[in-house]
């Protein structure tokens, strides 16, 4: 089966934050009979991470083939004592691009498995931006939540997610079998890597933006796209499309907001509305166009996601799904956002120069870093303490 193709006959459900995502994902894993595949950027040693640990151990004990692949940077400080019980139980645990620390600092900062995937028995898949961490529980944490989304998919598209998750650990995917039609939604599983799919996610965004007739809403945690995507958004706004961007107003990394604000004045000048989400740090990577096209996934619109990380999004062509997501984002704008604050005073020369340098460094350095020393990344089993 060729991945990266549109599949009909799917059912796609939107999940908001950990409160909706974790119960559904853990329920699916507990019902697994053959196989669980999990890919994630972060697993924290907290109540959520420990539930994932227990769920995978229990699955392996009943004969399910369970595989957990974690990013070597995002999980680089996870203690071996957390991992070892899973390995001892028969869970296959892999670290993506593991690197030794230098003076206590993680050194693999520019090569990341940023995808968040769960596949169960080749029949249910979860794709989105939600890590296995209690910080993704907005309603039950103290000012430390992350506003984010995922989708649960049943239907033919699940096979594409399964194939990609197997390839990440060097496995041959199981033989293809017929997956029953689950709904009426056309969906596409689209990935970004450093080999055959370097620009796929950005390309799908740009095609949809250029075709927009009425409205574009993009909610993105780290928004710093290339010139071509910015130009497409500005052109859409100038031809009368209502373009709304939802950015971080309460950022987990203040430098990210500062970089994004470099773009604000030019975007606003083209007629683009910029809203800053202020209730929690925004971790979303979603978009809706014309209430017909939508995407949910792991890919930010920034240099790391567009030029270096391994990412995965689901693109949906379904009016019901797109309308629901669009209405949700409009409520978010009305209830939890403020208009972006733009300093209209003419910057001093030093600030203009600093902004120009920051723009080009942020845009180009991660892409250059991806080529040194090489583009291919390995997935390895983590080092564990000796038994005894």
d(C-alpha 106, C-alpha 99), whole Å: 7
d(C-alpha 225, C-alpha 93), whole Å: 34
pTM here is: 0.90
Q: Is the pLDDT of residue 388 over 50?
A: no
Determine the Cα angle at 36 with ends 35 and 42, to 5°: 165
d(C-alpha 22, C-alpha 45), whole Å: 15
Q: Is the pLDDT of residue 375 over 80?
A: no
Find the mean pLDDT for residues 65-87.
Answer: 93
Q: Is the pLDDT of residue 115 over 90?
A: yes
| pLDDT, position 194 | 80
What percent of the chain has pLDDT above 70? 81
Q: Tens digit of pLDDT for each residue in 116-128?
A: 999 999 999 999 9
Within a 10 A sphere around the Cβ of 320, how many other Cβ atoms? Answer: 13
Range from 10-19, 72-81, 275-284 that averages highest in pLDDT: 10-19
d(C-alpha 19, C-alpha 15), whole Å: 8
Find the mean pLDDT for residues 197-205.
Answer: 94
Q: Tens digit of pLDDT for each residue in 274-332?
A: 999 999 889 999 999 999 999 999 999 988 888 889 999 999 999 999 999 999 999 99
Catalytic residues: 114, 116, 121, 283, 285, 290
Find the mean pLDDT for residues 188-197.
Answer: 91
* pLDDT band, residue 372 (cuts 50/70/90): very low
- The residues near 369 (Cβ < 8 Å, ≥ 6 apart) are 110, 308
| pLDDT, position 226 | 83
Q: Long-range contacts: 203-209, Cβ < 8 Å, 24+?
A: 204/295, 204/313, 204/315, 205/229, 205/287, 205/295, 205/301, 206/232, 208/287, 208/289, 208/293, 209/233, 209/236, 209/289
Which range (91-95, 97-101, 258-262, 292-296) has the least confidence? 97-101
What's the mean pLDDT when you consider all of the chain?
87
Q: Is the pLDDT of residue 234 over 70?
A: yes
What distances in angstroms separate CA 307 from CA 44, 112, 213, 297, one per listed residue? 26, 11, 28, 16
| N residues, the chain | 388
Q: Is the pLDDT of residue 94 over 80?
A: yes
Q: Are 120 and 30 in contact (CB under 8 A)?
A: no
d(C-alpha 31, C-alpha 121), whole Å: 9
Query: Which domains occur in the chain, in start order?
Result: 7-184+374-380 (3.30.870.10), 200-339 (3.30.870.10)
Cα R_g (the chain), whole angstroms: 21
| pLDDT, position 105 | 58
| pLDDT, position 77 | 84
| pLDDT, position 387 | 47
């Amino acid at each position: 089966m060729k991945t990266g193709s549109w599949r009909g006959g799917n059912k796609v459900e939107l999940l908001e934050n950990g409160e909706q995502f974790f119960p559904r994902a853990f329920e699916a894993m507990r019902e697994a009979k053959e196989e669980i595949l999990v890919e994630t950027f972060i697993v924290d040693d907290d109540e959520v991470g420990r539930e994932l640990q227990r769920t995978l151990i229990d699955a392996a004990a009943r004969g399910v083939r369970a595989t957990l692949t974690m990013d070597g940077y995002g999980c680089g400080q996870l203690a071996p004592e957390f991992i070892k019980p899973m390995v001892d139980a028969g869970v296959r645990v892999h670290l993506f691009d593991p690197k030794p620390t230098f003076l206590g600092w993680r050194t693999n900062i520019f090569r990341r498995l940023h995808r968040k995937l769960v596949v169960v028995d080749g029949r249910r898949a979860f794709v989105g931006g939600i890590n296995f961490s209690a910080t993704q529980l907005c309603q039950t944490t103290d000012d430390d939540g992350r506003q984010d989304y995922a989708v649960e998919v049943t239907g033919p598209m699940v096979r594409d997610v399964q194939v990609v998750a197997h390839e990440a650990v060097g496995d041959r995917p199981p033989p293809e079998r017929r997956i029953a039609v689950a709904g009426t939604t056309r969906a596409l599983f689209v990935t970004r890597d450093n080999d055959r799919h370097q620009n796929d996610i950005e390309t799908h965004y740009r095609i949809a933006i250029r075709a927009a007739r009425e409205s574009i809403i993009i909610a993105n945690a780290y928004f710093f796209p290339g010139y071509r995507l910015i130009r497409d958004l500005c052109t859409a706004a100038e031809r009368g499309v209502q373009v709304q961007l939802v950015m971080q107003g309460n950022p987990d990394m203040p430098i990210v907001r500062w970089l994004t604000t470099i773009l604000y004045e030019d975007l606003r000048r083209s007629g683009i509305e910029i809203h800053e989400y202020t209730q929690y740090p925004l971790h979303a990577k979603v978009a809706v166009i014309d209430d017909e096209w939508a995407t949910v996934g792991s890919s930010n619109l920034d240099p790391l996601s567009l030029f270096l990380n391994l990412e995965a999004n689901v693109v949906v062509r379904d009016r019901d799904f797109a309308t629901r997501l669009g209405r949700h984002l409009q409520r978010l704008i009305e209830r939890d956002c403020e208009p972006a604050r733009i300093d209209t005073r003419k910057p001093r020369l030093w600030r203009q120069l600093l902004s120009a340098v920051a723009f080009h460094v942020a845009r180009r350095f991660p892409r250059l870093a991806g080529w040194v020393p090489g583009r291919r990344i390995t997935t390895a089993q983590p080092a564990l303490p000796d038994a005894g």
